[in-house]
Amino acid sequence: MAKGIRDKVAIIGMGCSRFGERWDCGPEELILEAFKEALADAGITRDEIEMAWLGLFYQEQSAGKSALPLSLSLRLNNIPVTRVENMCATGTEALRGAVYAVAAGACDIALAVGVEKLKDTGYAGLPERTKGTFDDLWLPNATAPGAFAQLASAYAAKHRLDMQDLKRAMAHISVKSHANGALNPKAHLRRTITEEEALNAGMVAYPLGLMDCCGVSDGAACAIVTSVEKAREMGLKDLVTVKAMQLAPSNGFEMSNTGWDGSYLHTTRVAARRAYAEAGVTDPRREINMMEVHDCFSVTELVVMEDLGISPEGGAIKDVMDGVFDRDGQVPCQVDGGLKCFGHPIGASGLRMAYEMYLQLLGRAGDRQLGNPSLGLTHNLGGHPFRNVASVSLFGLYSA
């Protein structure tokens, strides 16, 4: 009977490029920037890596369809490389491939890399000016801001909320993320904002204003993983291990069943239940010390708190306004700035989230260090609320 991957795989090295408008380099340079940090962190040579996965969402506009940009740019030793794509969960999907390979015993050391040159695609989250991209072919009139604005409206209607109260909570989320991002030298947006600025920003898709939307960024992140046994053989003492990795894609329920009212993210709830079971978590609000969730829009972060079981149904606004998710709150969220301020190069985001968990767990997060966290959660949501893929992963310190 399957027992999952809890504590079977350790992360021994991670790296992350600076995120932003990186007109100075291509995807290969971003990959190398993140890889150099991870390799030095792991204390190994590239020839010790036996398998590798590349997460990349956009193809022709970025690095191409295959995984060859990874093996070529890093001069990998003719090892198997695989390119994966799963919408905004692409970076997590690359990590999942590497983790599963090690857990299965197929290799001792594996590499996961996520990268995106999003600025080079011309993508801005609004209708495309060029033809042939993903959003031209699937629901071309359903923009990301428009789709998540509907999530906000449905959530407000279900819980009988005054829209101004919801907007104030969304503004609090954005102010919090900007404050966190300002402490992070690798974040794209490093300017603090006020609640007044967030509330009075230009409207993108009601009720989402400009300060409710994440940025369009370039970046890369990577992880080197091995078995716990191998890590011990290498002399490593403080180990960050994978406690759970779960993925839940839409199956048509949201678009074809009146049981879904548009006010929550069904796949996130499914992935969270599975992840908690795999990791042995029974009380997520008490046991989870920090989170990086898919805040493509501020309302998404708010709704996700309930889908993850951190806030009670209809209670996320109160928790947000009470500071539960602030850096000094009970369950800090987006400590590195999140998608909102760190940036969202699609292929890299899942690994960027894991990078922050890794640094925090090892006490290496500098000015934004949270103290002594022992369990962190990452969450990705790819697509729109009515058809998407959700991933929930848990990372923590290893205890024999």
pLDDT tens-place values along the chain, 400 residues long: 678 899 999 999 999 999 999 999 999 999 999 999 999 999 999 999 999 999 999 866 667 788 999 999 999 999 999 999 999 999 999 999 999 999 999 999 999 999 999 887 766 555 444 444 555 555 555 788 999 999 999 999 999 999 999 999 999 999 999 999 999 999 999 999 999 999 999 999 999 999 999 988 999 999 999 999 999 999 998 999 999 999 999 998 888 878 899 999 999 999 999 999 999 999 999 999 999 999 999 999 999 999 999 999 999 999 999 999 999 999 999 999 999 999 999 999 999 999 999 999 999 999 999 999 999 999 999 999 998 999 999 999 997 6
CATH number at residue 43: 3.40.47.10
| Residue 26 falls inside a structural domain | yes
Same domain for 319 and 226: no
Same domain for 368 and 280: yes
pTM of the model as a whole: 0.94
Same domain for 223 and 202: no
Same domain for 185 and 100: no
Identify the domain containing residue 279 by its residue range: 141-208+240-397
| Residue 135 falls inside a structural domain | no
Closest alpha carbon to 39 in 69, 73, 14, 10: 14
Q: Kindly name the residue from 16, 88, 222, 333 that is annotated as catalytic.
A: 88
Tell me how far apart the alpha carbons of residues 214 and 91 are, in angstroms, rounded to a whole number.
Answer: 17
| Contact indicator for 294, 304 with CB cutoff of 8 Å | yes
Same domain for 255 and 174: yes
| Residue 297 falls inside a structural domain | yes
Same domain for 170 and 72: no
Same domain for 222 and 95: yes
Local structure of residue 47 (DSSP, 8 states): G
Same domain for 24 and 50: yes
**Beta pairing partners, 82:** 53
Same domain for 285 and 270: yes
Instruction: Let me know if 88 is a catalytic residue.
Output: yes
| Contact indicator for 360, 376 with CB cutoff of 8 Å | yes
| Residue 324 falls inside a structural domain | yes
Q: Kindly name the residue from 188, 294, 344, 384 that is annotated as catalytic.
A: 344
Same domain for 152 and 85: no
| Residue 177 falls inside a structural domain | yes
Tell me how far apart the alpha carbons of residues 42 and 45 are, in angstroms, rounded to a whole number.
Answer: 9
Same domain for 332 and 266: yes
| Residue 119 falls inside a structural domain | yes
| Residue 318 falls inside a structural domain | yes
Tokens, residue 354: 């894991």
Same domain for 159 and 99: no
Number of domains, the chain: 2
